[in-house]
Amino acid sequence: MDADTPPFLLETRDLRQSYRMPRESLLRPPPEVQALKGVSLQVTAGRSMGIVGESGSGKSTLARLVMALERPSSGQVLLEGRDLNQLGAAELRAARRDFQMVFQDPYGSLDPRRRIWRTVAEPAATLEAASRTQQRERAAAMLQAVGLGRDALDKYPHEFSGGQRQRIAIARALITRPKLIVADEAVSALDVSVQAQVLNLMADLRDEHGVTFLFISHDLAVVSHLCADVAVMKGGLIVEQGPVRQVLTEPRHDYTRALLASVPEMPAALPN
Amino acid sequence: MPLLEARALRVDLRTHRGTAPAVRDMAFSLERGDTLGLIGESGCGKSMTALALMGLAPENARVTGSLRLNGQELVGLPDRDWRRIRGARMAMIFQEPMTALNPVHRVGAQIAEPLRLHRGLSGRAARAKAIALLERVGIPEPALRIDSFPHQFSGGQRQRIMIAMALACEPEVLIADEPTTALDVTVQQQILGLIRELVAERGMALVLISHDLGLVAQNVQRMLVMYGGAVVEHGSAAQVFGQPAHPYTRGLLAARPSLAHRLHAHRSQRLPTIAGSVPDLFALPPGCPFAGRCAFTESACASQAPPEIVLSPHHVFSCRRAEVVMNATTTIAAVD
């Protein structure tokens, strides 16, 4: 890449990951599963990327590698040109300011014994020293950005509904002003009407705060709604990627076509 | 006489906070071969309805009203009699095949159990039937797989095994509570296709419960939309899905991201959402449960029960403001 073109916000190069399975026989080496078999992906700042695929296709493995929560077997993860796996522990921690994650289960991802302001402020607090008052103020600002009031600061997670908890998780991800948010099935556990609220919130953050999402979901319609580009994964590989409109109208891979066909759409195919 | 008929079915849950009316005034009737969809969001009472239909309502629940299977009253039936019906004449497919199957028993034994209990089949005959059932639901090499444990199957296969179990005694009524929620979309279609095929083949009646309006509409003839424990709209699937009338049904449909819509609209277009959140069952208004969240709310909505508006013999909804609502062409849900 020449010096004039800015590096991609996120780039993965031939990313592979295999996991060792429990040994089946004493006489044979333990079997391995190849969760990712060479994934190359480029995400430009401002163009959110959606990843769709069925369970076992490697979507969540990709998310964990992008977040540097695991080391890949081979390949590189580059965030603005820096290889995350080449960074030292302190550098990596500092780099985490730029990329945050929102998890699937809003019931499991918030510490039930901590007040909300601590949970929300934590990512920033680990990066820089801040007084309790400062932390609370910043947490309040983030909560406001996701549509929750100050009164949420001193509450505990159990006092909130699923949709509100997911907002809190998003506020926590926002507090370091990240450039990239990896959302792994972040709206899948929510009811349709709540899901719509959270998707609207994410769209606002994308438009107003300049956050780019790597949005992982099994639901093509949800991914398409939020993202500019989409990549379809199957069996540890990206089988198709491109702008949403193009993938929806001219799917080239059989699996993409099957995915499109299985989305229940407007009354066309109704029995009567 | 209908095969299964519910009238003024009601489930009250006693908790430390008082009594919550989880299901109110549920009414429907099913003939052989009929398919009915029950849709709504979490907490609307759809799963509680399913449990009440199977006589599996929790200890702290009080089920009142009437539920008749071939004329036999099931509400208040002692457990002993329920056991003769469950699994034999009415069967249920549960939401999570991972937890509904017993992990320490081979699947063959689990499918054979109802056959031995209800039909008195010998071990060998039950096993042969179990193999036939596995084959019918599309498990490859059933004679080999019958001795496998649940963890050795994929999610979709486990759901197929659950279906085989439910079908074992050829029930007259099949209740499927979110049978495909945990599955991949492509597998979802296969499982629903299988259920639909089996229902048609055996003339069973089907109650399909889901939070997904589109999914239900494609797979049933009639549907009920539930909100806050009550049915707010019911009718033929095509009409409810094609011309939704109740503001809640419309809001629910509009809130779902749609591929067709994505192709036309700009991506920063917002999804219409329903303002507010689901009402607390302990503090339901005496009138319409949707009052307050609905863009058409007037003062009487919360205090007086909404009248039933008959749009056609196959399409009814409950709303005090029907005239205004029906003339509104725009999306009903308020944009937040």
Check CB contact under 8 Å for A200 and B273. Answer: yes
Q: A17-21, B111-115, B221-225: lowest mean pLDDT where? A: A17-21
Mean pLDDT confidence for A163-173: 91
Residue B235, domain member (yes or no): no
Residue B335, domain member (yes or no): no
Name the more confident of A128 and B124. B124
Residue A65 CA neighbour count, 13 Å, CB half:
30
| pTM for this prediction | 0.84
Kindly report each contact of residues B248-253 with a partner whose C-beta sits within 8 Å and lies 24 or more positions away, as own/partner. Answer: B248/B274, B248/B290, B248/B293, B248/B294, B249/B213, B249/B225, B249/B317, B250/B331, B250/B332, B250/B333, B251/A193, B251/B331, B251/B332, B251/B333, B252/A192, B252/A193, B252/B39, B252/B41, B252/B213, B252/B225, B253/B213
Same domain, B77 and B132: yes
Q: How confident is the model at residue A4 (pLDDT cuts 50, 70, 90)?
A: low
Same domain, B221 and B251: no
The pLDDT value given to residue B204: 93
Q: A163-172, B218-227, B327-336: lowest mean pLDDT where? A: B327-336
- Chain A, nearest residue to B266 by Cα: A225
Residue B233, domain member (yes or no): no
Quote the mean pLDDT of chain A: 88
Residue B237, domain member (yes or no): no
Q: Does B318 touch chain A (CB under 8 A)?
A: no
Residue B149, domain member (yes or no): yes
Same domain, B249 and B206: no
- Chain A, nearest residue to B191 by Cα: A262
The rounded distance, in Å, linking the Cα atoms of A183 and A213 is 7
Check CB contact under 8 Å for B255 and A195. Answer: yes
Percent of chain A with pLDDT over 90: 54
The rounded distance, in Å, linking the Cα atoms of A36 and B242 is 42
Q: How confident is the model at residue A271 (pLDDT cuts 50, 70, 90)?
A: very low
The rounded distance, in Å, linking the Cα atoms of A216 and B283 is 37
What is the ipTM for the molecules in this complex? Answer: 0.79
Same domain, B196 and B290: no
Same domain, B107 and B249: no
Question: Where is the domain boundary, B162, B193, B226?
Answer: B226
Question: Where is the domain boundary, B167, B201, B226?
Answer: B226
Check CB contact under 8 Å for A196 and B184. Answer: no
Query: Per-residue pLDDT for B63 more than 70?
Result: yes
Q: Does B255 touch chain A (CB under 8 A)?
A: yes
Chain B nearest CA to A53, separation (Å): 8
Query: Per-residue pLDDT for B49 more than 90?
Result: yes
Check CB contact under 8 Å for A200 and B270. Answer: yes
Q: How confident is the model at residue B333 (pLDDT cuts 50, 70, 90)?
A: very low
Q: Does A201 touch chain B (CB under 8 A)?
A: no
The pLDDT value given to residue A265: 61
The pLDDT value given to residue B216: 87
Same domain, B167 and B301: no
Same domain, B182 and B255: no
Point out the residue among B186, B237, B277 whose CB comes nearest to the CB of A161.
B277
Domain that holds residue B178: 4-226
Q: How many domains does chain B divide into?
A: 2
The pLDDT value given to residue B175: 95
The pLDDT value given to residue A129: 85
Percent of chain B with pLDDT over 70: 96
The pLDDT value given to residue A269: 35
CATH number of the CATH domain containing B54: 3.40.50.300
Cα→Cα distances B271→A196, A248, B38, B275, B320, Å = 6, 19, 24, 12, 26
- Chain B, nearest residue to A269 by Cα: B218
Residue B234, domain member (yes or no): no
Same domain, B175 and B102: yes
Same domain, B129 and B255: no
Query: Per-residue pLDDT for B264 more than 80?
Result: no
Q: For residue range B120-153, list pLDDT tens digits in order.
A: 999 999 999 999 999 989 888 999 999 999 988 8
Q: Does B260 touch chain A (CB under 8 A)?
A: yes
Question: Where is the domain boundary, B170, B201, B226?
Answer: B226
Same domain, B64 and B179: yes
Mean pLDDT confidence for B162-167: 92
Residue B231, domain member (yes or no): no
The pLDDT value given to residue A195: 87
Same domain, B214 and B295: no
Q: A129-133, A191-195, B3-7: lowest mean pLDDT where? A: A191-195
State the sign of the Cα–Cα–Cα–Cα dihedral B49, B54, B60, B66.
Answer: positive
Check CB contact under 8 Å for A220 and B251. Answer: no
Mean pLDDT confidence for B45-70: 93
Check CB contact under 8 Å for A200 and B336. Answer: yes
Same domain, B21 and B133: yes
Residue B296, domain member (yes or no): yes
